[in-house]
Structure 1
Amino acid sequence: MMFDSLAGLSVGDALGQQFPVMRVSVDALRSGTVPGGQWQWTDDTEMACGVVAELCTRGAIDRGRLAVSFARHRSPDRDYGFSTVAVLMRIGKGASWREVSGAAFGNKGSYGNGAAMRVAPLGAAFAGDPETIVAQAIRSAEVTHMHPEGISGAVAVALAAGQAAQARIDGIRPTAEQFLTTVLDHLDDSEVARGIRRARTLLGANVQQVATELGNGSHVSAQDTVPLTLWIAATHLHDYPAAITSCLTADGDIDTTAAIVGGIVTAHTGTDAIPPEWLAAREPLPTWLLQARAAMPRPSRLRRWFTGSRG
């Protein structure tokens, strides 16, 4: 299920990145129109691949290793945020992740949406174990985002993906209200959590109204990104195209909102819910991730979780 989540995340990211220059409407996408050319993914996918590779290799997040992996695999053309670039460049030169992440933004740490955008596959990997999801999501976030809100955003997304995957295992479809409530049950109070509570009161509204109320990622913060994405995922948990096109309609930081939503939804639906033409258009994932996947130990509990097998 971890790899299903990554597929949904990467397609959402790539479509969100390309949509502003596609010269095609949301309605046309819904009807199956796909412009020619390859959809390039961004830092959202590249960093999510780093998280997944670390889990393939270690079965858990080692922050030092993850930091080095992020720095090593950073591609300059993947649209990284300036703060993340600064952090990863210093880590790449040998600085401690703890020092540079904590020093960002006047020693307050970053509350950007970067930790949330990459974490859905982790939540899917540890489905059924919310305590582990919380602990591992925190570790994955701290490498670049030390501010409590940046961490809270990552935890919320990981919990949502874990719940989506668990519902798939159990063969159930939670209501949107149940979905958001379960996330909140395991999330400490924060501005992000308060935004999700607000999202719960907006179920049934249209996505433009919700984006106006909650934000659409335009400020690139966890607080103005995560509540909307959880509202969309909860509303369209069974319908990947509807979920992703809702992100496009909401506008804002589209590649990141679509990455988060895509990672949550495909933890529940599997990759069959992704339109084949969308998946085919997405740029292939990096070879270093495929090598990490091939090296996963067999047999292992994590392999069963990551592939969705219950046997």
Structure 2
Amino acid sequence: MNREAIVGCILGTAVGDALGLPYEGISPQRSPKLLGPPDRYRFFFRRGMISDDTEHTCMVAQSLIDANGDVAGFTRSFSRRLRWWILALPAGVGKATARSGIKLWLGANPQRAGVFSAGNGPAMRAAIFGAALDDVSLMLDLVRASSRLTHCDPKAEYGAIAAALAAKHSRDQESVDANLWLDKVVVAVGDGGAELIDLLRQAIRSLDAGETTTAFAESLGLDRGVTGYTYHTVPVAIHAWLSHPNDFRRAVTRIIECGGDADTTAAIVGGIVGAGVRREGIPTEWLDGIWEWPRSVPWMQRLGATLADSLDDVGLVKSPTVNPIAVLLRNLLFLFVVLFHGFRRLAPPYGQ
């Protein structure tokens, strides 16, 4: 049922994001020495907090509720939410997203607010589309609208499409078929996505050869960590999903062990796998360990259930909201913890 898949996707995104956040920007060689294995939260007194990956996923879900299947309505709602999100001083926001948010405040048309970037911002918020929507054509239109609002490089859009279709496949198929999923991606991205398709085929060949996700990342030259370039992020995330499609714990920890943009890669993998395993397949201690307000775990569950109701035409449904003052106060605390981690990284132990 889509309700369970939607909730699993949102919570899976949040857990992956929170687990990967302390490891962001650290090489796979140094992270075990500095932080230890990614088997528990290491961000704030053994608790986890979410970042922009989960916040964008939540804003997408809210905008889907507001839009009621209308692509233009979704764009308006998401652009409005993005403007106010930028104003709440989020820490670690990507350059392309920040620039597009500023352009929106300056009066830019949402369809022209995106900057030419192939960053992984659109991919980090794409899984929820696949978890929620049955109509593939509508889903693709919405993914494109979401992508172009912040990133106008087609590569960012193609990466987001691959992630959304992965979440849909994870939701729909008890046994994941990599080639069946890839066939759908080929059709969706067309000739323009040929480079991404080649990379995804490499991921499947690596999987067939029994390679680990870390080894596959190294074969792409990412031995110092997965970058925020979507043609690095998405193929490695897909490899982690296909390696452990029904094992949330392994899929997420393996992608974090690759280093680099670990919160985003883990959020993408968490959302895709979460859509398949549902809430029950996400480790309870990881759900209980998220320390968040006002976007708490119960709030995210309510958001997912409300989105499912809106798609099922259960009367007039209103999107759950968050108190903007609460968000600002939370973001100030979050920034303090991020700065602490930044200073901690200046000290030993050092990696290779």
TM-score, normalisation: structure 1: 0.83
1:76 match: secondary structure: coil
TM-superposed deviation, 1:180: 4.0
Q: Decide which moves more: 6-15 or 287-296.
A: 287-296
The structure-2 alpha-carbon separation of the partners of 1:209 and 1:71, relative to structure 1 and needing over 3 Å to count, comes to same
Structure 1 contact 214–227 (Cα < 8 Å) conserved: no
Query: Where in structure 2 are there 5+ consecutive unaligned residues?
Result: 315-352
Structure 1 contact 116–155 (Cα < 8 Å) conserved: yes
The structure-2 alpha-carbon separation of the partners of 1:215 and 1:152, relative to structure 1 and needing over 3 Å to count, comes to farther
The structure-2 alpha-carbon separation of the partners of 1:164 and 1:145, relative to structure 1 and needing over 3 Å to count, comes to same
* CA deviations over 1:41-91 (Å, ceiling 9, x no partner): 111111111101111222334212211211112342331112211210221
TM-superposed deviation, 1:175: 4.0
Distance 1:123 1:156 in 2: 10
Distance 1:166 1:294 in 2: 18
Structure 2 contact 46–289 (Cα < 8 Å) conserved: yes
2:95 to 82, 89, 112: 82
TM-superposed deviation, 1:25: 2.8
TM-superposed deviation, 1:302: 6.2
TM-superposed deviation, 1:283: 3.3
Higher relative contact order (CA 8 A, sep 6+): 2
* CA deviations over 1:174-233 (Å, ceiling 9, x no partner): 244544444445432422222112111111211221012236574311111111111111
Match status 1:228 vs 2:230: no
Distance 2:311 2:177 in 1: 32
Structure 1 residues 266-285: aligned runs within 5 Å: 266-284=274-292
Distance 1:14 1:25 in 2: 15
Structure 1 contact 121–263 (Cα < 8 Å) conserved: yes
Aligned to 1:166: 172
Structure 1 contact 111–147 (Cα < 8 Å) conserved: yes
Query: Where in structure 1 are there 5+ consecutive unaligned residues?
Result: 304-311
Distance 1:296 1:267 in 2: 14
CA RMSD of aligned residues (A): 2.8
Q: Decide which moves more: 258-267 or 181-190.
A: 181-190
Aligned to 1:198: 202
2:80 to 68, 71, 82: 68
1:255 to 263, 273, 298: 263
Distance 2:176 2:107 in 1: 46
The structure-2 alpha-carbon separation of the partners of 1:94 and 1:37, relative to structure 1 and needing over 3 Å to count, comes to farther
Aligned to 1:240: 248
| Structure index of larger Rg | 2
TM-superposed deviation, 1:98: 2.7
TM-score, normalisation: structure 2: 0.74
Structure 1 residues 93-242: aligned runs within 5 Å: 93-101=106-114, 104=115, 109-127=116-134, 129-167=135-173, 172-189=174-191, 190=193, 191-203=195-207, 204-214=210-220, 218-242=226-250
Q: Decide which moves more: 293-302 or 273-282.
A: 293-302
TM-superposed deviation, 1:266: 0.7
* CA deviations over 1:261-294 (Å, ceiling 9, x no partner): 0000010000111111111222336459768668
